[in-house]
């Protein structure tokens, strides 16, 4: 369970993630919601997932069955494909009734899209037996989620991420005592909040803190905290760590039968509460309508919608006022099935099931409602009639019931660019295949990803299997979605989007797109994609996740503001002085271990190989450092005085370090390594190590006094060294590859063993608490935690925005940016900000406006600078004083007459590389009198 497959997930779920391997989950209902929830639980590694479905499978309702499964039992069709997702999980089908005896074998029972009578019966059984019970449903553009985890459910760890910690720099004696502290990055301080419970460890002097009970803190500023009374404690001398303690929480739940009439609904505001209560009554009324009529309301049938509204008022009378327009809109499309809505609700249901199993994160209390009914306000969707939404015998009938047949044809004609085929990319492509995006004449999806599939991808990247490890992500993903929908057109590339691939993904490529979706994991790549879409005015949906958090941002030219590139987070680097001499946090020792890995197993081998390939030996500059006196006790504050370690063969960390280093060194020298631990122990037992003796004359530099000094070599010494290097080169045979450099791989077990052991040994040197293997992997590898539920939910939210783009909606009020927090089952959906405007030369300009000129003269050649300046004067009355292409000055009105004449005579194409497609230059300019103006609109020149 703790292997590479689940490493990213364990970073999200912590130790609770290992409880999944003991869990048995029943998933009832295998339509869209159930299929997504079951797939997520299988990928996450639950020990046993049992499927139950009483009905046959109509076409196109979920991604597991494929074309060949139509008419067969959904659970039986889905079992084989679910089992293939994860060989660690037992996936089976229960064809019989869900009896009380049968249900007793499960920790979690999840019912999806089931009749209310079945929900109530099974809910009563589960509540009585202490089985966690979840109900999830999706109807048209709305979803419902309910949780009952019993009367005494314990949340072991309610918060995402590792507990907070900081380095203690001083503690005052007083009432209250004041703690001065700092995080690993000393400039950022601590991250505690008022009321957080903390404990201390490793404090010298004021040792009473080390044994004290958890106490609450009050934040004074970024570096100071108030704690309890320390006036009677011993004076503080140095060192120490302050760490957050997260107390367990107990939650109590009502059974469904009670919670239906008096619902506790999780919302953020009174406005949301009104809408959620309305949806609660609408779902309840829908069950009643179906029981009375034996069917769901007909799509866009006003009389059916009115009957649902009447039932909602009758059943929900205790809920207060209802939004009648919401009930009518909900009922009018409730017969529809949309893959994005089903995927979103299935992902949320699976996350709640994981909370029930692991005790990690705050579970839902008790109802959650979601809707994207704003899609019906889009021009074109609002006026649909029943005949537009009637079934066609198509796999897309569930989508046609919501958006109509003409819209389905438009979906098939779309051209989209998916950048990234990882976790979000896989979910996007799966949803696109189910939606029928690019499955018609003229449609096409281009997907690119430079990476290959790793084992650590398999727990969340839905389209990949064990046999795909090492293969290109984009190609495997494209092949997988063609199996889901043979009509989809997908073109795959194993290429990194960037300046080096402009010939493949140039301006012509972007201008032909209907939209692009970012599923990237680096801010640099995202910023480049954003710039391409801004330049071509192509709609972009930017997606991202980190652990249980996710977001979707919509950039809709010319309606919304342009996306601004995010700032790069801290790259994990620390000052050299801190790493070498003053480590005070595990982050410092892990970065030091990474540097050690590179210095032992990569750089020497590369240097030897480079030395052998050079014509003559090269010398490396040697440097020493000198200190400056701080004028205070040297080992104080965050400076910890190190102490030497004595090698102990019985210490697992000592042995792990020696074994890992030996194996890695053997690899660099192309030698066989010994895997016999008994033999290794025998050698080490008979090895006598000299005692540690500090060297005389060594200086410990401080941050303020680090200088680089060259070590002088006498001419004779230099000549002798050169001759010795030449002899070594001759003895090594003159080859160019004598050693194998090892580059650090964050998922390689041997590499991780060395990093963890080296870091913890250095941490022991400086009295820093050690880190476990998983934490070391995350920090040293700078790994972003990831989980299937978040990626599936985020991709689903992005696909809802695709619907609006396909409608070519020009009302910004219909679009949504989303921020998702699955750890608390919270979703924030807000309208994107409108495109800002500014004034230039007496006219109001949008951020999307630009001046465009076909810079081709009558002779077919590019315009000269003089001709372009004349066009700006004639067309806009602007006198340009400076014209630039990037950093190149094309024209400067302050130059002398001869220079200006030469500048004006040059063509705009001079110095621009020729290519097959029409070239566009973006030029910057300054006009006379611009000092009082805002920024000017860009000038785009199309060259021949």
For residue 626, pLDDT over 60 is answered with no
Choose among 848, 940, 852: nearest CA to 539: 848
Instruction: Tell me the C-alpha distance between 174 and 189, whole Å.
Output: 22
Q: Which pLDDT score is estimated for 783?
A: 86
For residue 427, pLDDT over 80 is answered with yes
β pairing state of 90-93 and 48-52? parallel
Average pLDDT over residues 808-832: 96
List phi, psi (to 5°) of 429: -65, -40
Looking at residue 919, the DSSP 8-state letter turns out to be: E
Residue 589 confidence class, pLDDT cut points 50, 70, 90: very high
Q: Which residues contact 555 (CB under 8 A, 6 or more apart)?
A: 530, 533, 534, 539, 540, 541, 542, 561, 562, 563, 832
Q: Which pLDDT score is estimated for 636?
A: 66
Phi-psi map region of 514: left, alpha, beta (phi>0 left; psi -120 to 50 alpha) = alpha
For residue 844, pLDDT over 60 is answered with yes
Average pLDDT over residues 810-825: 96
Cis peptide before 176 (omega within 30 of 0): yes
Find the farthest-apart pair of alpha carbons in the chain and give their distance in angstroms, rounded.
103
Angle formed by the axes of helices 773-781 and 749-765, nearest 10°:
100
For residue 935, pLDDT over 80 is answered with no
Higher pLDDT, 856 or 618: 856
Q: What is the 3-state secondary structure (H, E, C) of 903-915?
A: HHHCECCCCCCCC
Q: Which pLDDT score is estimated for 698?
A: 65
Q: Which residue has the tokens 């964050």?
A: 746
Average pLDDT over residues 653-680: 89
Angle formed by the axes of helices 339-358 and 32-44, nearest 10°:
40
Most confident by average pLDDT, 539-543, 848-852, 894-898: 539-543
Cβ atoms of 429 and 418 closer than 8 Å: yes
Residue 453 tokens, joined: 């599939």
Cβ atoms of 446 and 545 closer than 8 Å: no
List phi, psi (to 5°) of 449: -160, 130
Q: Which pLDDT score is estimated for 622?
A: 36
Higher pLDDT, 633 or 498: 498
Residue 404 confidence class, pLDDT cut points 50, 70, 90: very high
Residue 82 confidence class, pLDDT cut points 50, 70, 90: very high
Q: Which pLDDT score is estimated for 596?
A: 92
Average pLDDT over residues 602-617: 74
Q: What is the DSSP string of 265-280?
A: B--SSHHHHHHHHHHH
Residue 6 tokens, joined: 């689940």
Angle formed by the axes of helices 423-435 and 788-806, nearest 10°:
40
181 in helix, strand or coil? strand
DSSP H/E element including 722: helix 715-731
Q: Which pLDDT score is estimated for 89?
A: 96
Instruction: Tell me the C-alpha distance between 198 and 186, whole Å.
Output: 19
pLDDT tens-digit map of 264-279: 998 888 889 999 999 9
Q: Which pLDDT score is estimated for 566?
A: 61
Choose among 491, 462, 496, 465: nearest CA to 478: 491
Burial class (CB in 10 A: 0-12, 13-18, 19+), 269: exposed
Q: Which residues contact 540 (CB under 8 A, 6 or more apart)?
A: 515, 516, 517, 518, 529, 530, 533, 554, 555, 563
pTM of the entire predicted model:
0.88
Rg of the chain on CA atoms, in Å: 33
Higher pLDDT, 508 or 252: 252
For residue 570, pLDDT over 50 is answered with no
76 in helix, strand or coil? helix
Q: Which pLDDT score is estimated for 705?
A: 46
753-756 long-range contacts, CB within 8 A, separation 24+: 753/656, 753/659, 753/660, 754/593, 754/597, 754/657, 754/660, 754/661, 754/664, 755/590, 755/593, 755/594, 755/597, 755/780, 756/593, 756/656
For residue 722, pLDDT over 80 is answered with no
Q: Where are the beta strands (DSSP E) in 173-280?
A: 178-182, 197-201, 215-216, 218-219, 224-226, 241-245, 249-251
456 in helix, strand or coil? helix
For residue 676, pLDDT over 60 is answered with yes
For residue 588, pLDDT over 80 is answered with yes
Q: What is the mean pLDDT of the chain?
A: 88
Percent of the chain's residues with pLDDT above 90: 63
Instruction: Tell me the C-alpha distance between 477 and 861, whole Å.
Output: 44
Q: Which pLDDT score is estimated for 710?
A: 47
Higher pLDDT, 416 or 586: 416
Return the minimum-mean-pLDDT range out of 223-232, 341-350, 885-894, 930-939.
Answer: 930-939
Residue 568 confidence class, pLDDT cut points 50, 70, 90: low
Q: Which residues contact 755 (CB under 8 A, 6 or more apart)?
A: 590, 593, 594, 597, 744, 776, 777, 780
Residue 418 confidence class, pLDDT cut points 50, 70, 90: very high
Q: Which pLDDT score is estimated for 831?
A: 96
Cβ atoms of 446 and 541 closer than 8 Å: no
Higher pLDDT, 244 or 702: 244
Residue 61 confidence class, pLDDT cut points 50, 70, 90: low
Alpha helices in 168-228 (DSSP H): none
Residue 286 confidence class, pLDDT cut points 50, 70, 90: very high
Choose among 287, 277, 340: nearest CA to 311: 287
Residue 931 confidence class, pLDDT cut points 50, 70, 90: low
List b or e across 746-774, with b for residues whose CB sees 16 or more CB atoms inside 10 angstroms: bbeebbbbbbbbbbbbbbbbbbbebbebb
Q: Which pLDDT score is estimated for 892?
A: 93
Residues in the chain, how many?
A: 944
Choose among 528, 526, 525, 561: nearest CA to 542: 526
Instruction: Tell me the C-alpha distance between 504 and 488, whole Å.
Output: 21
For residue 918, pLDDT over 70 is answered with no
Instruction: Tell me the C-alpha distance between 74 and 27, whole Å.
Output: 12
For residue 239, pLDDT over 50 is answered with yes
pLDDT tens-digit map of 151-204: 999 999 998 888 888 888 899 999 999 999 887 666 678 889 999 999 999 898
For residue 408, pLDDT over 70 is answered with yes
Average pLDDT over residues 127-139: 97
For residue 19, pLDDT over 50 is answered with yes
Q: Which pLDDT score is estimated for 124?
A: 97
Instruction: Tell me the C-alpha distance between 367 and 357, whole Å.
Output: 19
For residue 811, pLDDT over 90 is answered with yes
Instruction: Tell me the C-alpha distance between 144 and 113, whole Å.
Output: 9
Q: Which pLDDT score is estimated for 55?
A: 59
For residue 581, pLDDT over 90 is answered with no
Most confident by average pLDDT, 402-406, 712-716, 748-752: 402-406
Q: Which pLDDT score is estimated for 395?
A: 93
For residue 919, pLDDT over 80 is answered with no
Choose among 42, 6, 50: nearest CA to 24: 50
Average pLDDT over residues 531-548: 94
Cis peptide before 553 (omega within 30 of 0): no
Catalytic (active site) residue 532: no
pLDDT tens-digit map of 484-520: 999 999 999 999 999 889 889 988 899 999 999 999 9
Residue 219 tokens, joined: 């934040």
**Half-sphere exposure in the Cβ direction for 504 (13 Å, CA):** 15
In degrees to the nearest 10, what's the CA dihedral of 891, 894, 896, 901? 20
Average pLDDT over residues 76-105: 93
Residue 840 confidence class, pLDDT cut points 50, 70, 90: confident
List phi, psi (to 5°) of 184: -60, -40
Instruction: Tell me the C-alpha distance between 725 and 727, whole Å.
Output: 5
Return the minimum-mean-pLDDT range out of 423-432, 796-805, 880-889.
Answer: 880-889
Instruction: Tell me the C-alpha distance between 48 and 20, whole Å.
Output: 9
Q: Which of 165, 577, 814, 936 is catalytic?
A: 577
pLDDT tens-digit map of 337-393: 999 999 999 999 999 999 999 999 999 999 999 999 999 999 889 889 999 999 999
Residue 128 confidence class, pLDDT cut points 50, 70, 90: very high
Q: Which pLDDT score is estimated for 904?
A: 93
pLDDT tens-digit map of 857-896: 888 889 999 999 999 999 988 999 999 988 889 999 999 9
Q: Which pLDDT score is estimated for 322?
A: 95
Q: Which pLDDT score is estimated for 324?
A: 96
Residue 624 confidence class, pLDDT cut points 50, 70, 90: very low
């Amino acid at each position: 369970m703790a292997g590479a497959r689940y490493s990213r997930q364990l970073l999200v779920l912590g130790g609770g993630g290992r409880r999944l391997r003991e869990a048995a989950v029943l998933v009832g209902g295998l339509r869209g919601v159930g299929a997504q929830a079951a797939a997520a639980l299988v990928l996450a590694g639950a020990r046993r997932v049992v499927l139950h479905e009483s009905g046959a499978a109509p076409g196109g309702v979920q991604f597991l069955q494929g074309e060949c499964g139509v008419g067969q039992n959904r659970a039986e069709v889905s079992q084989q494909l679910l089992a293939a997702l994860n060989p660690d999980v037992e996936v089976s089908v229960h064809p019989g009734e869900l009896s009380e005896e049968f249900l007793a074998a499960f920790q979690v029972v999840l019912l999806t899209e089931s009749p209310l009578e079945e929900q109530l019966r099974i809910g009563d059984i589960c509540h009585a037996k202490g089985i966690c019970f979840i109900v999830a449903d999706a109807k048209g553009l709305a979803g419902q989620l309910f949780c009952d985890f019993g009367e005494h459910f314990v949340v072991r760890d309610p918060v995402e991420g590792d507990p907070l910690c900081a380095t203690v720099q001083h503690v005052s004696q007083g009432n209250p005592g004041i703690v001065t502290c700092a995080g690993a990055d000393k400039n950022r301080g601590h991250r505690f909040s008022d009321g957080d419970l903390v404990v201390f460890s490793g404090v010298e002097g004021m040792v009473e803190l080390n044994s004290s009970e958890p106490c609450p803190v009050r934040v004074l500023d970024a570096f100071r905290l108030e704690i309890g009374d320390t006036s009677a404690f011993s004076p503080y001398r140095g060192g120490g760590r302050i760490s957050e303690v997260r107390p367990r929480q107990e939650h109590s739940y009502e059974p469904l039968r009670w919670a239906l009439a008096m619902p506790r609904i999780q919302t953020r505001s009174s406005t949301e509460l009104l809408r959620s209560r309305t949806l609660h009554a609408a779902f309840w009324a829908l069950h009643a309508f179906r029981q009375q009529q034996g069917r769901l309301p007909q799509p866009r049938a006003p009389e059916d919608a009115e009957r649902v509204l009447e039932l909602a008022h009758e059943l929900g009378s205790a809920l207060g006022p209802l939004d009648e327009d919401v009930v009518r809109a909900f009922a009018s499309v409730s017969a529809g099935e949309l893959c994005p809505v089903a995927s979103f609700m299935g992902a949320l249901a699976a996350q709640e099931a994981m909370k029930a199993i692991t005790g990690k994160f705050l579970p839902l209390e008790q109802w959650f409602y979601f809707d994207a009914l704003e899609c019906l306000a889009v021009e074109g969707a609002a006026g649909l009639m029943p005949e537009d939404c009637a079934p066609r015998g198509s796999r897309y009938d569930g989508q046609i019931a919501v958006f109509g047949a003409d819209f389905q044809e438009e979906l098939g004609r779309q051209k989209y660019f998916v950048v990234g085929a990882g976790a979000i990319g896989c979910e996007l492509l799966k949803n696109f295949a189910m939606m029928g995006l690019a499955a018609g004449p003229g449609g096409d999806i281009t997907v690119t990803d430079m990476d290959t599939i790793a084992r650590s991808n398999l727990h969340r990247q839905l389209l990949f299997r064990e046999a795909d490890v090492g293969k290109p992500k984009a190609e495997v993903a494209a092949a997988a979605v063609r199996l889901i929908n043979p009509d989809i057109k997908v073109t795959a590339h194993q290429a990194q989007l960037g300046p080096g691939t402009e010939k493949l993904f140039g301006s012509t490529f972007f201008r032909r797109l209907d939209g692009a979706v970012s599923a990237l994991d680096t801010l640099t790549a995202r910023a480049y994609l954003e710039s391409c879409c801004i330049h071509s005015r192509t709609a972009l949906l930017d997606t991202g996740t980190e652990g249980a958090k996710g977001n979707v941002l919509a950039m809709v030219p010319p309606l919304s503001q342009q996306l601004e590139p995010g700032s790069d987070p801290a790259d994990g680097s620390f000052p050299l002085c801190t790493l070498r001499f003053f480590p005070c946090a595990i982050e410092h020792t892990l970065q030091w271990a990474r540097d050690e890995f590179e210095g032992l197993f990569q750089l020497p081998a590369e240097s030897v190989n480079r030395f052998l390939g050079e014509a003559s030996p090269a010398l490396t500059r040697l440097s020493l450092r000198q200190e400056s006196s701080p004028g205070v006790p040297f080992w104080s504050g965050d400076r910890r005085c190190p102490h030497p370690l004595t090698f102990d063969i019985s210490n697992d960390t000592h042995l792990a370090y020696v074994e890992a280093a030996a194996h890695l060194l053997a690899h660099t020298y192309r030698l066989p390594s010994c895997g016999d631990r008994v033999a290794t122990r025998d050698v080490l037992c008979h090895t006598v190590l000299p005692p540690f003796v500090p060297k005389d004359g060594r200086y410990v530099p401080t941050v303020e006094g680090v200088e680089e000094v060259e070590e002088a070599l006498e001419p004779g010494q230099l000549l002798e060294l050169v001759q010795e290097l030449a002899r070594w080169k001759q003895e090594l045979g003159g080859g160019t590859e004598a050693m194998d450099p090892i580059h650090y791989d964050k998922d390689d077990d041997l590499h991780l063993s060395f990093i963890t052991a080296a870091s913890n040994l250095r941490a022991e040197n400086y009295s820093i608490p050690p880190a476990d293997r998983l934490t070391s992997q995350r920090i040293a590898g700078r790994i972003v935690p990831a989980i299937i539920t978040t990626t599936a939910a985020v991709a689903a939210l992005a696909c809802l925005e695709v619907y609006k783009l396909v409608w070519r909606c020009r009302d910004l009020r219909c679009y949504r940016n989303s921020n998702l927090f699955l750890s608390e089952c919270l979703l924030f959906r807000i309208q994107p900000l409108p495109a800002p405007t500014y004034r230039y030369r007496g006219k109001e300009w949008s951020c999307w406006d630009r001046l465009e000129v076909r810079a081709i003269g009558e002779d077919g050649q590019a315009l000269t600078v003089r001709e372009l300046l004349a066009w700006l004067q004639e067309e806009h009355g602007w006198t340009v004083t400076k014209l630039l292409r990037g950093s190149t000055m094309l024209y400067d009105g302050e130059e002398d007459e001869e220079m200006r004449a030469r500048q004006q005579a040059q063509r705009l194409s001079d110095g621009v590389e020729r290519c097959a497609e029409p070239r566009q230059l973006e030029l910057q300019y300054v006009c006379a009198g611009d000092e009082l103006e805002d920024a000017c609109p860009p000038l785009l020149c199309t060259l021949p």
